[in-house]
Amino acid sequence: MARIKLVVNGQKRELDLDPTMPLLWVLRDYLGLTGTKYACGIAQCGACTVHVEGVPIRSCVFPVSAVQGKEITTIEGLSKNNDHPIQIAWIEEQVPQCGYCQSGQIMTAASLLKRNSSPTEEEIDNVMSSVLCRCGTYPRIKIAIQKVSGE
């Protein structure tokens, strides 16, 4: 056990934790931020994607000790009123079906557009192919990202 200091969605948190615990389980089971999802546990599907200092990471394999003091943003902190351009486009294009993977899709798409405000289709494919969706929402995800980048 160790004293861990975190900054999540702008709020400072302090917890006594196993420092090897992946950030994912700290967010979900200790901070109640359940929007970030578990789906594979080996960084293969992207459902657990959060931003650390603005960079997308796979929180299921990222030990909590490695993010101490760094700024962590989860889906709950992406926007105040569900009004990030990606969220608006997701609703407009009716992207989610079951919705489980969508936090990871949205966090990945948001960071893609932050780095590159008008990605080509190939760039969208390259980045978004790392996030899995079993419901098959890929065609709509692509359209939604293109819509935001075209604006």
Residues within the interface to other proteins (CB under 8 A): 1, 18, 21-22, 25, 28-30, 33-42, 44-45, 47, 74-76, 78-79, 82, 87, 90-91, 94-103, 106, 124-126, 128-142
Helix, strand, or coil here: 102? helix
Which of 51, 90 has the CB closer to other proteins? 90
Of the candidates 95, 107, 133, the residue with the CA atom closest to the CA atom of residue 35:
107
The least CB distance from residue 109 to other proteins, in Å, is: 11
Query: Cα separations (Å) of 92 from 27, 97, 103, 107, 110?
Result: 29, 13, 16, 17, 16
Please say which residue, 52 or 88, places its beta carbon nearer to other proteins.
88
- Least separation in angstroms between residue 102's CB and other proteins is 5
Type of residue at 125? D
